[in-house]
Structures are given as structure tokens and as C-alpha cells.
Amino acid sequence: MKAFGYLAPRSVEEAVDLLGREGAVPLAGGTDLLVAIKRGTLPPRWMVDVTGIGLDRLDEANRAVVIGAASTHAQVLASDTVRAGLPALAEALAGIGSPQVRNLATIGGNICYAVPSADSAPPLLAVGAEVCIIGVGGTRCLPLEDFFVGPRRTVLAPGEMVTEIRVPLPGPHTGTAFLKAGRRKAMSLAVVNVAVSIRRASDSMTVDGARIALGAVAPTPFRALAAEQLLQGQVFSVDLAEAAAVEAARATAPITDLRATAPYRHALSRVLVKRAIVKAWERSAGPGGYRDA
Ligand SMILES: Cc1cc2nc3c(=O)[nH]c(=O)nc-3n(C[C@H](O)[C@H](O)[C@H](O)COP(=O)(O)OP(=O)(O)OC[C@H]3O[C@@H](n4cnc5c(N)ncnc54)[C@H](O)[C@@H]3O)c2cc1C
């Protein structure tokens, strides 16, 4: 392991300044970064600790939850608003690693490391989350679906960091669900993970908007747009969910690796998408859907 320097800024501005050094990378919980450094796949010269600069706040504004990038999974899970209004996100975070990992690892680190199996990505994509970025050039916010570029690659330029993730709270008559299959029930990266958000029309039988996101089955987490389109405006049925799931699986481009074969991931995508659609639909009728107080 090559030697590196550790820098502990006291503010976002100072962090941005320090990230301007050559070979500097943000350090949050370190649960991905330190593994990468030990493996020699990421040899930074400087690690800029972003955990002590006020990026671990959760605020609710304009029907969205604004999650600071350095919020740990445990901190996000402790939010009543997240558990009540964003059950798919809560389900995803609750299944990451172990309590020890969730106490250290951050939501910003999860999306910035950008592995295709990142568990927070599908539920964030399914509700239309935005990522806000700061660098020497200023700040910008963009949809999460434009953030991922490839395996472990994002749009972040050297010296930039994510400050917050803006997560819209689904409106009334909307249900969300997250499902993950791994090789074990805990401490296991996803073989496939899926999140769905679906809204009922006023007749309560017709789909009025759906978003379907998958992870671990393509170079980046992605939305299955054709499958979403297939649901739109249709009277809901389990057969309709099955047809959308077939379409979503068609959009995958899985690989074979030590966790699963590509054909297995393809088949599992169909099964999980169907189940997640049905679960989200059921929730859209009841307390699982977010309601105004
Ligand atoms: C035992 C174990 C089990 C795990 N289980 C799971 C699991 O079930 N599901 C899952 O999805 N992941 C899992 N992980 C992976 C990891 O815990 C998560 O991805 C975690 O959320 C990473 O967050 P972190 O704060 O530790 O990131 P770090 O390791 O600190 O950083 C990760 C990457 O993001 C960059 N980064 C961090 N913060 C920012 C920022 N604000 N702006 C820009 N770049 C930033 C870093 O430079 C680095 O490249 C597991 C890891 C371990 C060790």
C-alpha cells in the first residue's frame, strides 16, 4: 500500500480547496475506499475527510428530503420521514452490510463509488432523486440517472464532490418497493436489486406513472424506460406486471462473475421486477404510499 496524506477540512469550502490538490480524493466512511486502497486499485496521494463538514444533515423542503452526502445509512434510516415516505430507500439501506457498516458508510459514498450493485441507487432512481455537486467551478445539480457513467465511473470531475442528494417524496396514491437478491441474506452484495415507484390514477385501477430501476445487471444502475411505458395508462393486473417485468429484463445487460451467471441475473431480474411492481402497487392503496398530513 502506497503512503498517502490525510486531510481534515472544517468546511465544505476548505474541502473543495483541498480536493484541488493533485491526487486528492474524498474520504467518507472509507468502507469502499480503504478496501480499494489496500487492493491497490485506487492509490490516492491525499484523502480529504468529508465527514466533519456539516454534510450529514437531513432536511425536508418542498416535498423532498435533502440528504447530506456524508449521512451514514444508519442516520438516514433513523429519519421518520424516510421510513414513512420512502420505504423503498429505507428497505435498501437497511440491507446494506451490517450494523457496523451502516454506522460508518455513507449514502454519498455508496453512489460516488458507483458500483453497478450499489443498493441505494435503484430506490433513488425510482423516485427521481437529484445529486448536487460542488467544485472550484461552483455548484450544479443533476438527475441521478445522469450521474453514473460506467462501472465505478461518474460525471464527477477531479476536485469535485457531492454535497447532497435531493429525494422527492412520492405523492398520494404512490407506492414504492425495493427487492434485492444476494448470495446470502445479509452481508452480501446484490446479484440483482430492483426498485419500483408506481402511482394509481383516481379510478384506483389504472397506472398513472411508474418508474422501474435495476442494479447489478448493467454497467450502471439504470431505469427500464420501455417497461415503465408499458405500464402507463393501463388497468393494473398481475399479467401487466409480468409483461413489464419481461420488458425490464430485456433491457438488462448482465455479466457473469463470481456472484452469478448472466442468464441467472437476467431471469432473476424478471422475477424481482414483477414482485416489486406488485408490492409497490399494493402499497399505493394503503399507508405505504406517502400522504400529506
Ligand atoms: C463488509 C461490507 C459490506 C458491504 N455491503 C454492502 C451492501 O450490502 N450494499 C452496498 O451497496 N454496498 C455495500 N458495501 C459497500 C460500502 O459499504 C457502501 O458502498 C458505502 O455506502 C460506501 O460509503 P463510504 O462512506 O464508506 O464511502 P467511502 O469508502 O469513503 O468512499 C467511496 C467512494 O466514494 C467517494 N466519495 C465518498 N464521499 C464522496 C462525496 N461526498 N463526494 C464525492 N465522492 C465521494 C470516495 O472518494 C470513494 O471513491 C459494503 C462494504 C463492506 C466493507
CATH number at residue 35: 3.30.43
Assign 115 to helix, strand or coil: coil
Q: Is the CB of 25 under 6 A from ligand 1?
A: yes
Residues 71 and 128 in one domain: yes
pLDDT at 139 over 50: yes
Q: Phi first, then psi: give them for residue 177, nearest 5 degrees.
A: -150, 150
Q: Phi first, then psi: give them for residue 172, nearest 5 degrees.
A: -60, 155
The residue that leads in pLDDT, 288 or 35, is 35
The residue that leads in pLDDT, 241 or 42, is 241
pLDDT at 284: 96
Going from the Cα of 104 to the center of ligand 1, the distance in angstroms, rounded, reads 9
pLDDT at 185: 83
The residue that leads in pLDDT, 3 or 9, is 9
Residues 101 and 123 in one domain: yes
Average pLDDT on 177-199 reads 94
Does residue 155 fall inside a structural domain? yes
pLDDT at 2: 77
pLDDT at 44: 84
- Give the span between the Cα atoms of 103 and 96, in whole angstroms: 10
Average pLDDT on 15-29 reads 97
Residues 74 and 147 in one domain: yes
Place of cell 398530513: 293
Locate 97 and state its grid cell: 452490510
Residues 182 and 279 in one domain: yes
Contacts of 105 (CB under 8 A, 6+ apart): 28, 29, 31, 32, 72, 73, 96, 97
Does residue 293 fall inside a structural domain? no
Residue 221: half-sphere exposure toward Cβ, Cα within 13 Å: 33
Residues 144 and 196 in one domain: no
Residues 74 and 153 in one domain: yes
Count of structural domains within the chain = 3
This prediction has a pTM of 0.96
pLDDT at 289: 47
pLDDT at 23 over 70: yes
Locate 126 and state its grid cell: 425510482
- Give the span between the Cα atoms of 131 and 142, in whole angstroms: 5
Percent of the chain with pLDDT over 90: 91
* DSSP single-letter state for residue 265: H
- Give the span between the Cα atoms of 26 and 29, in whole angstroms: 10
Residues 213 and 244 in one domain: yes
Q: Is the CB of 27 under 6 A from ligand 1?
A: yes
Does residue 215 fall inside a structural domain? yes
Residues 159 and 179 in one domain: no
Residues 139 and 196 in one domain: no
Residues 202 and 117 in one domain: no
Residues 220 and 261 in one domain: yes
Locate 30 and state its grid cell: 472509507
The amino acid present at 150, given as its one-letter code, is: G
pLDDT at 86 over 70: yes
Q: Is the CB of 75 under 6 A from ligand 1?
A: no
Confidence of residue 293 (pLDDT cuts 50, 70, 90): very low
Confidence of residue 89 (pLDDT cuts 50, 70, 90): very high
Does residue 101 fall inside a structural domain? yes
Does residue 291 fall inside a structural domain? no
Beta strands 46-49 and 24-27: pairing type? parallel
By C-alpha distance, which of 242, 81, 260, 236 is closest to 181? 260
Give CA angle at 28 (26, 33), nearest 5°.
75
Beta strands 153-154 and 161-168: pairing type? unpaired
Nearest CA to ligand 1 atom 5: 97
Does residue 292 fall inside a structural domain? no
Q: Is the CB of 174 under 6 A from ligand 1?
A: no
Beta strands 138-143 and 130-135: pairing type? antiparallel
CATH number of domain containing 216: 3.30.390.50
- Give the span between the Cα atoms of 56 and 163, in whole angstroms: 9
CATH number of domain containing 110: 3.30.465.10
Does residue 95 fall inside a structural domain? yes
Residues 22 and 80 in one domain: no
Nearest CA to ligand 1 atom 53: 31
144, 168, 192 - which closes a domain: 168
- Give the span between the Cα atoms of 161 and 164, in whole angstroms: 9
pLDDT at 291: 45
168, 194, 209 - which closes a domain: 168
Going from the Cα of 108 to the center of ligand 1, the distance in angstroms, rounded, reads 8
104, 133, 168 - which closes a domain: 168
> Which region among 74-83, 127-136, 178-187 has the lowest average model confidence (pLDDT)?
178-187
Pure H helices in the chain: 12-19, 33-39, 73-77, 80-85, 87-94, 99-104, 107-113, 121-126, 225-231, 238-250, 262-284
Confidence of residue 40 (pLDDT cuts 50, 70, 90): confident
Confidence of residue 186 (pLDDT cuts 50, 70, 90): confident
Give CA angle at 218 (217, 222), nearest 5°.
100
Q: Which domain holds residue 186?
A: 174-284
pLDDT at 286: 78
